[in-house]
Amino acid sequence: MTEEPTSGTVVGDTGVRGLDARTSEPAWEHEEYHGRPVSWVAVTIIIIGFLIGGIALPVGPSWVLFWVGAALVVLGSIFAASIRIMDDWY
């Protein structure tokens, strides 16, 4: 019958360097990556569209200005998809 390990006993393979070896980088240590400049252009277009559409409603409502803002959001989203903006995620 095998004895059960007591408190403080390490069971299993601890590797060549023992418990001091790092198996991976800590979550807080990673290369900083803020996206490509073209991705920020797409995001800026979308934000400007939201701002125009959002301002158009309380000041009038100016429906033409609202739809211009909505069109900018749609065009910015299509542009963002065409440049594969989601590939910028780490």
Tokens standing for residue 57: 């409603």
Tokens standing for residue 75: 């065009």
d(CA 45, CA 52): 11
What's CA 39's distance to the chain center, in Å? Answer: 12
**Is 39 or 29 the better-scoring residue by pLDDT?**
39
User: How far lies 53's CA from each of 9, 10, 34, 80, in Å?
Assistant: 64, 62, 27, 19
Q: What percentage of the chain has pLDDT greater than the value 90? A: 53
Q: What is the pTM of this model?
A: 0.64
| Cβ-contact 51, 69 below 8 angstroms | yes
Question: What is the pLDDT at residue 33?
Answer: 73
Tokens standing for residue 66: 């609202």
